[in-house]
């Protein structure tokens, strides 16, 4: 199992187990967990076996309100089936940020939580990686989670770049890519971002970002870059067709673009 990107810490607090709670009394804070998927909840309701539900996880805040931290879809499924109560594990005295951390703890080894969901909840939890990414994206007036002109869909790539190279490299990567190809969903492709970030991490101290962008543009538009990186990786054989190989090929393309027309003494790579 791969290690999580995020750090999880909670203060000592009181917890009760196996408590029957009224479903209608429960609230959901979508900043502290993923959004409710009604289709998924209905699917659970259609095949619900009450004895196999297990316990949901609830946070009771200082004002007495109870929020579902984990088990939101099971709770909604029970509501759809007309059940009035559900068994719960209740955590007392946590604030919203700590609830988000608890959600991540409960789901850190589960494939059911998407990277985007984990990022959003991690942001609420104050995770340093998520906060850094959010600040860089906001400085570029970009969102995260969908592929569009003003939003980066390559969530995993953005998080990986920041974790491996630091927020400064993510910042420079976004600057170079936008300077080369403008604000276009093709520009924010994860393979391209990863390749450019690798280049800046290794050679950025000797590179002018805007000169690099001009050289990259001369080679072609973003869609062509991605296509060429995929082709080059695929030509390396089945075992070389993964994300890392495609990013490495894109990195080599950046090196080639930067070195073109330079003397041997001034080349990188």
DSSP codes joined into one string, 113-141 = S-HHHHHHHHHHTT-HHHHHHHHHHHHTT
Average the pLDDT over 164-185 and give the result: 96
pLDDT of residue 109: 54
Burial class (CB in 10 A: 0-12, 13-18, 19+), 116: middle
Share of the chain above pLDDT 90, in %: 60
pLDDT of residue 9: 78
C-alpha span between 250 and 246 (Å, rounded): 6
Average the pLDDT over 34-53 and give the result: 85
Contacts of 225 (CB under 8 A, 6+ apart): 192, 216, 219, 250, 253
Neighbours of 166 (CB within 10 A): 14
**Statement: residue 149 has pLDDT above 60:** yes
Q: Which two tokens stand for residue 269?
A: 């790579």
Average the pLDDT over 122-130 and give the result: 90
**Statement: residue 232 has pLDDT above 50:** yes
C-alpha span between 140 and 17 (Å, rounded): 45
C-alpha span between 268 and 152 (Å, rounded): 29
pLDDT of residue 236: 58
pLDDT of residue 6: 54
197-201-202-208 Cα dihedral, nearest 10 degrees: 80
Cα–Cα separations (whole angstroms), residue 51 to 24, 54, 55, 78: 20, 7, 10, 12
- In this structure, the strands spanning 56-60 and 66-70 are antiparallel
Which residue, among 197, 255, 252, 184, has the nearest Cα to 223 in the 3D structure? 184
pLDDT of residue 112: 61
2 pLDDT band (50/70/90 cuts)? very low
pLDDT of residue 36: 82
Q: Which two tokens stand for residue 261?
A: 């027309």
What does residue 140 show for φ and ψ, rounded to 5 degrees?
Answer: -100, 5
129-133, 208-212, 240-244, 255-259: least confident range? 240-244
Helix locations, the chain, DSSP H: 38-46, 72-80, 96-107, 115-124, 128-139, 155-165, 167-181, 190-203, 209-219, 222-234, 243-259
Identify which has the larger pLDDT, 41 or 8: 41
């Amino acid at each position: 199992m791969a290690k999580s990107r995020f750090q999880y810490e909670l203060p000592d607090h009181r917890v009760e187990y196996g408590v029957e709670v009224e479903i209608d009394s429960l609230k959901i804070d979508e900043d502290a967990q993923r959004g409710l998927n009604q289709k998924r909840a209905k699917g659970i309701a259609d095949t619900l076996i009450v004895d196999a539900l297990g316990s949901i996880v609830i946070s009771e805040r200082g004002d007495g309100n109870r929020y579902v931290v984990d088990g939101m879809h099971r709770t909604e499924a029970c509501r759809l089936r007309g059940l009035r109560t559900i068994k719960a594990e209740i955590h007392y005295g946590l604030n919203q940020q700590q609830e988000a951390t608890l959600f991540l703890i409960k789901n850190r080894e589960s494939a059911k939580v998407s990277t985007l969901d984990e990022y959003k909840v991690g942001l609420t939890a104050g995770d340093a990686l998520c906060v850094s990414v959010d600040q860089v994206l906001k400085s570029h007036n970009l969102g995260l989670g969908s592929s569009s002109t003003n939003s980066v869909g390559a969530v995993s790539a953005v998080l990986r770049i920041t974790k491996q190279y630091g927020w400064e490299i993510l910042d420079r990567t976004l600057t170079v890519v936008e300077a080369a190809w403008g604000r276009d969903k093709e520009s924010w492709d994860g393979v391209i971002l990863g390749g450019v970030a690798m280049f800046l991490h290794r050679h950025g101290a000797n590179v002018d970002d805007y000169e690099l962008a001009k050289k990259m543009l001369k080679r072609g538009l973003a869609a062509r870059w991605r296509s060429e990186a995929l082709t080059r990786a695929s030509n390396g054989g089945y075992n070389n067709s993964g994300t890392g190989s495609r990013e490495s090929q894109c990195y080599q393309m950046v090196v080639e673009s930067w070195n073109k027309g330079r003397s041997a003494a001034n080349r990188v790579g």
